[in-house]
Structure 1
Amino acid sequence: MTDPANDRLIPLAEVMNIVGYGKTIIYRWIRQGTFPKPCHPGGSSSRWSEIEVRAWKDAQLAQREAA
């Protein structure tokens, strides 16, 4: 899925399901600049671009294959 028109904003629970890591490590990576930043569409809710999260995961797998 790379078509921006089909991109969804997904909650943290779905992000954790896709990447297989918990909230603490995801927010640590965000602070370190190594994970996509969330959007804040309203109030205090955070949502991530599904395309960006899946691209991050694909890059991690590609790094593993290159090593």
Structure 2
Amino acid sequence: MNLSKENQIENLRLIRRKEVQTKTGLGASSIYAMMQQGTFPKAVNISERRVAWIESEVDAWIAERVAKHRANIATMEA
């Protein structure tokens, strides 16, 4: 599947921790703990003292959580 240049740029957008927190509802310590456990996307070093996350990876993590939630509800209702 070939993505348009616009979609490639959108998928590679870097977002800072506060935006990650807003999108996920997680606190900073939870984000870093989950990164350490390998259950949350790793941050990318963007400078010596700055990190950011690839937005599409965070969005995929959120989508996975929503899918699991919906599957659990469907299982309970069956």
Q: Output the TM-score relative to the length of structure 1.
A: 0.91
Q: 1:31 aligns with which of 33, 36, 42?
A: 36
Distance 1:4 1:53 in 2: 15
| Structure of greater Rg | 2
What residue ranges of structure 1 are gaps of 5+ in the alignment?
none
Matched-pair identity in %? 35
1:41 maps to 2:46? yes
Cα RMSD between the aligned structures? Answer: 1.3
Moved over 6 A (4+): none
Q: Output the TM-score relative to the length of structure 2.
A: 0.79
Instruction: Give the structure with the higher percent helix.
Output: 2
Instruction: Give the structure with the higher percent strand.
Output: 2
Write the deviation string for residues 3-48 of structure 1: whole angstroms up to 9, x where unpaired.
3322211100000000011001111100000000000011110100
Q: Higher relative contact order by CA 8 Å / sep ≥ 6: 1 or 2?
A: 1
Q: After TM superposition, list the pairs within 5 Å mapping 1:1-67 onto structure 2.
A: 3-6=7-10, 7-67=12-72
